[in-house]
Structure 1
Amino acid sequence: MSDQTKYVVNNVIRNAQPEDAARIVSFYNIVGGETDYLSFGRDEYPQSVDEVAQSIEYMKGSVGNCMLLMLEGEEIVGIGTIDSSTKHRFLHVGTLGIVISQSRAGKGLGRVLMNALIEWSKNNGQTEKITLVTRADNERAIALYEKLGFEREGVFCKDTYDGEQYYDSLSMALFL
C-alpha cells in the first residue's frame, strides 16, 4: 500500500506518520491490558514516543517495512506492521504484527487490516514471505491466519510466561 488512504466502512487505513507516535504508544499501552496474547501488558509498551516517531520516519525510506493504522474518525482501532530484516539474506521475509482494539474485535477489522498488509507486501518489490508468531492457544487468530493462506511452520515450546503458566508459540508463514 502506498501513501494512499483506504476506506473500510467507517474506518480508514493509512500509513502511520511520525506525528501519530504519541497516539500509537497510548494505543499499545491500552491494548496491552486487553489481551494476554500480546508480548507486553498494560502500560508496558517498550518504545517511547520518540523511538516510535523515529521508526516511522525510517519506514518512509524502507522498502520492506510499514506501519498501517486503522482509524475510526481520529481514534486508532488497529495497527498492523510488516518488519523486514536489514540483512541481505533475509530481506525477502517480512514479519507481520497486528493488534485490534478489543472493543472492535470480532467485526472483521483484523481480516481487512491483514489483507491490507498482505497487499502492501505483494507490491513492495521485496517481500516474498510473510511470517508471524502467535500464542498456540490463540485459536481465533490462528483460524483467521489460516483462512488468509498462512501455514503452520513450527512450535516454540514454553515460549511465553505470564507469571503463572508457560505457553507455546506457533510460527506461521504465507508465501507470496
Structure 2
Amino acid sequence: MATIPIIEKILSTGEHVVIRSAAPADALNAYHIQRSVVDENEFVITQPHELRNSEESYRGLIDKISRSEKELFIVAEVNGEVAGWLVFHTPSLQRRAHYGEFGMMLFRQWRGKGIGKLLISAMLGWAESHPVIEKVGLEVFSTNEHAIRLYQGFGFLEEGRRMRQIKLGSGSYIDLILMYRMVSE
C-alpha cells in the first residue's frame, strides 16, 4: 500500500497544513475540489458539463490506489479541511512501470500559498524512495505560467509539446506542454 508519512507545516499565513495519504472519507471533498476547478474552466481539459466523477467514483479511486504499491493519492488539509489533492498514476505495462504522471487540484483560495509545493514535495520524496519509479511526468496548459514556474522550481523540464492540443473555441487553441523529472537514474 503506497502511503506517505504525515507531514505537518505552518504556512506563512499561519494556517496549519497536513499532507497525508487520502482516505475513503476524503472522497466527497476530492470531488468538490475537482468540481470547483472544472467550473473555473481555465486550466483543465474537462468542461463543466463533461464532468463524470462523483463522490462514489473518488471513493473507488482512493480504494484502488490505496491497494497499489506504485500509485499515490495524497491530500492537503488546512485547519482540518481538505484544500487540495495530488494523484500519481503509473501505466500497467511492465516496460513503462518506471514512469508515472501526476495531476493536482486545489481550491482557488488555497493557491499561491505553498500548498501545491508541499504536495509535490511529498510526492517526489515518495517517488525518489520508490524502488521502481525513475521518471515523473505531467501535462500542463502552455498558458498556465504559474504552474509551469512551480514545476520548473522542482527541476521539471519540458520534453515536448502537443501543439494546438486544446481547442477553446473557433480558432482558439492552447498547446499542452509535457514536462518530466528524473527521480532515479
Shift of 1:43: 6.6
**C-alpha deviations, 1:132-163, integer Å up to 9, x for none?**
00011211111111111101100001111223
In structure 2, C-alpha distance between the alignment counterparts of 1:13 and 1:42, rounded to whole Å: 28
Structure 1: runs of 5+ lacking an equivalent: none
Which residue in the other structure is 2:34 paired with? Answer: 28
**Alpha-carbon distance change, 110 to 3 in structure 1, aligned in 2, over 3 angstroms:** closer
Q: Is the 8 A contact 2:160 2:178 kept in 1?
A: yes
Number of residue equivalences: 176
Match of 1:171 among 139, 153, 178: 178
Shift of 1:11: 0.9
Q: Is the 8 A contact 1:32 1:44 kept in 2?
A: no
Equivalent AA in structure 1 for residue 6 of structure 2: T
Equivalent AA in structure 1 for residue 32 of structure 2: S
Q: Is the 8 A contact 1:29 1:44 kept in 2?
A: no
Equivalent AA in structure 2 for residue 120 of structure 1: W
1:78 matched to 2:79? The reply is no
Q: Is the 8 A contact 1:23 1:76 kept in 2?
A: yes
In structure 2, C-alpha distance between the alignment counterparts of 1:57 and 1:125, rounded to whole Å: 22
Same amino acid, percent of matched pairs = 24
Between 1:20-29 and 1:150-159, the stretch displaced more is: 20-29
Task: Give the 3-state SS of the residue equivalent to 1:38 in structure 2.
Answer: coil
Matches within 5 A, 1:48-63: 48-63=54-69
- Taking structure 1 as the reference length, what is the TM-score of the superposition? 0.92
Matches within 5 A, 1:98-117: 98-117=104-123
Equivalent AA in structure 1 for residue 116 of structure 2: G
Structure 2: runs of 5+ lacking an equivalent: 11-15
**C-alpha deviations, 1:23-79, integer Å up to 9, x for none?**
211121012223511222447533222222111111122111111100113322111
Shift of 1:93: 0.5
Shift of 1:84: 0.4
Q: Is the 8 A contact 1:67 1:80 kept in 2?
A: yes
